[in-house]
Structures are given as structure tokens and as C-alpha cells.
Amino acid sequence: MVKRLVIIGAGPGGYVAALRAAQRGAAVTLVERDLIGGTCLNRGCIPTKALLASAEALARARAGEEFGFTVQGEIRPDLSRMRERKERVVSRLRSGVETLLKRAGVEVLQGTGRLLGPTSVEVALSRDQAGQTVRVEADRVIIATGSEPARLPMFDFDHPAILTSTEALDLTEIPASLLVVGAGVIGCEFASFFAELGTQVTMVEMLGQMLPQEDARVAKQFQAVFRKKGIQVLLKTRVESIVEYGEGWVTARLSDGSEVRAERVLVSVGRTPNTKGLGLEAAGVETDSRGYIVVDEYLGTTVPGVYAIGDVNGGLLLAHVASHEGLVAAHNALTDDPGARRMRDLRSTPSCTYASPEVASVGLSEEQAAEAGYEPVVGTYRFAALGKALALGEEVGFVQIVADKKTDQVLGASMMGPHVTDLIHEVAVAIHSRLTVRQLGETIHAHPTLAEAVMEAAHEVHGESVHVAH
């Protein structure tokens, strides 16, 4: 018998789950209140990377003398045209996903979904059918409603100077000054982008390092690069209040007693789950103290037959995690054999920051490995010693690999430098496959490539890199 599956939310978790379930022969209804692709495609991952690509092209043009060419006239950024390019990229990708869903036979309902029970979803339709509701019965339900930027009560988000990442993407004029509250991934990416456009950027972070989820050595060197770019970074510092809202600017008082005046303030201090109005209580779906849906390792909620994936379950708030969980939940929702269920496996989940320079990590850092009971050994290789990096003019950064001394198994890696958000996946495969660092190092890497830095770092775990003076 064909199983009926309703998925609420069409972001990178929901639409992936819908396509996989349709492949497996299910009758799938996908409910989305806004745009197909969710935050990632429309207001997050993709648009920010499109803007960062524009900033990278701008930096390359300004470096023409170093690369042996001359650009005539003034090189000036045009934020409106960058935004137009960003929208073209997003529209093309969204159209592609919509086509995939249509060809897979997935029924898409534009509207807001609400659980009436474990097997029933009410959809308040929007757009052409606004004001109407439909009730969809299902054998299984997957909740994939994602999250939205956290809005701290001390900031007046009705004032045009106060921005979340969503509003920052829609700016058409380059601000002369920007205060970034929070030096996590989102804050660092926007700081990198606007600094390249000529904005004077000040970053405030209440913790003791930038990119708090990353290795301390990476964070320290990353901060040094930002400071060379003219970005002021204030650690162990908080915004206490906005003391004045002007016309086109605000003044913020910091915890050290100083004040910062800026044309715009970007508040990037985390995200909150989209669980309001979902009917969770009525259906018996449990949430934690922060509002995230409680799930087990099979992505099941406290109600049998109801699953929750991606940001809404409060795990790793990453698009690729949502997609992985979408595949797992779709599989589990369609199987009747408890022994055939899949568990989510996040051991090899990469974390990526697409600033300039890029930062990426996977698995355990040296400190985390020691805390977990391993005896970690580390191998490091600098891009300044790598032929391809020098040829590209990208010598800042390094690759660091962590292994277990007893078993030689690859435990993790941290990287900073050119294209490390792509290079990190080689180590992710090694962790997922439980490879040893010697196996990783003995794999032949093409020359000259940036990936050679991974091989050299793997050799250096044993002190055997021939391109490091010992």
C-alpha cells in the first residue's frame, strides 16, 4: 500500500525528504508558507555566497598589479548590481528545485501547516487561495520548519539601522560603518563582505574568541587577518544598550563603558526555532526549554509517526545537516521494520565559514580529542609553503589534522585558507570511513593542488613531511 507522507517546510531538509520519499514510491505532500528552498536558498547560504563571490572578484581586480595586469579607471563596488546578481542565482536554483519536485510528483501546497493530530495536518492556504484551508491526512508527518534569526529585546528592529541577516541581504547602499553583534559564522561572513566594500566594521563578541566553535589556533590567526583588513574586533565585550537612535545611525554603549556609533547594526547572535502555531502541544509533540522539538537518533519525536528534522530539532543548525536528516527521516518514515531504521550520523559533519580567508573544520579538535579520552597527535602544514597556494596568491592559513596516537585513526581537522570549505571533505570522508592518518597521507595527491596541504599535514602527524624542516 502506498504510504502518505506530509512534510511541513520546504527548506534543505524538507524538500530533500520529499524527493527521497517520492523516489521510494510514497504519495508526498509538501507544505511551504513562503518560498521553496527555505532560508538557506533564499535568505542564507546561497545569497550570502553570491555576495561573497562579488567581493572576491572585487578584491582580485584590486590586486591586478600583483598579477601583472592594469585595470583602467576607478574600481568601485555597486551593491545594487551585486544584489541583482544574487537574486538571479537564487531564482535559478529555486526554479530548479521546483522543477524537481514537480517531476517527482510531489504535491506542493503554499500555506501554513498545523498539526491536528499525529496523522492529520491543516493547511491555511496562501497566495491565490488565501483564506481557504485544507485538511491532509497522512501515515507519517515530517516537520522541517527551520529557524529564524534571534531578535534580542534590547534592539528596536523596527528602526532601519537595526538588521538581522535577512535585512542585511537586501541593502542597496553600502553603509559607511557597521557594528556586528556576534562573531560567529554569520557575523564573520557579513563583516568580511562589507569590509571589502569599504565599510568600517566593528565586531563585538561576548566570548573570548571569534568563531567560538572553531579551534583556538584557527580563531586567533583568523582574528589577526581581520585586524589587518581594518576590522576592529572586541572580544569579551557585550552591547549593553542602544543609547541613541538617530536618523540613519545609532549609538551603542558597550560593556567596557565605551560607545560605538554606526550607520547599521547587524545582530547575529543565533537563531530561534519556527515552532509557533504548529499545533505541537495539541498533537503531543514535546519541545525543550528553548522551544526546539525533542527527537531521538532516528529523528522521531515523542509522538510515533511524527518526525522533526533540521534546525527545528535544535541539533547542528546547518543546511547540510538538515538534508542528511531529511534522507534519514524519509527512510524511517517509510519503513515498517524497526530493525531497518537508520540513525543520523553527524560524526563527519563539516563546519564552514565562507569569509576571506575561509575557515573549515570537521570532527574533533586537539582539545576536544583529549577531553574525549584520546591521546591526540597533530600534523600541520602552512599554505605559505605550498606551490599552488603561492601561484594563486593565497598563502595565508594552514591545514591541521588531529589523529589518535594509539590507533592512528583520523579524528578531525581544522583549516584556514583558500578553498578550505571544499578541501575539508577529504578529511570528512576519512573520518566517516574510519581511515588512519597514514592511509590519508599515502593517498597520491595531484601536484600542484591545494589538496596537497592535506597530504602534507597527514604526513606531519608522524613528523614525516619532506617539505617541513625538522
Residues annotated as catalytic (active site), given as ranges = 447
**Contact criterion met (CB below 8 Å) for 378 and 458:** no
Hey, what's the cell of 16?
A: 530533500
Rounded CA gap, 248 and 118, in Å?
A: 49
**CA-based nearest residue to 101, from 16, 42, 24:** 16
Q: Which residues in 400-412 are b (16+ Cβ under 10 Å) and which e?
A: bbbbbeeebbbbb
Hey, what's the cell of 458?
A: 597527514
Residues 6 or more apart whose CB falls under 8 angstroms from that of 428 comprise: 348, 349, 350, 362, 363
Rounded CA gap, 261 and 256, in Å?
A: 15
Alpha carbon distance, N-terminus to C-terminus of the chain: 67
Half-sphere exposure of 24 (CA within 13 A, CB side): 21
For 173, 174, 265, 300, the CA distances from 236, given in Å and listed in that order, are 31, 28, 18, 39
What phi, psi does 292 have (nearest 5°)?
A: -80, 145
Rounded CA gap, 45 and 354, in Å?
A: 10
Rounded CA gap, 334 and 132, in Å?
A: 30
Rounded CA gap, 389 and 467, in Å?
A: 14
Angle between helices 319-334 and 14-23 (to 10 degrees): 40
Q: Outline where DSSP puts E strands in 46-168.
A: 107-117, 120-125, 133-137, 140-143, 147-149, 162-163
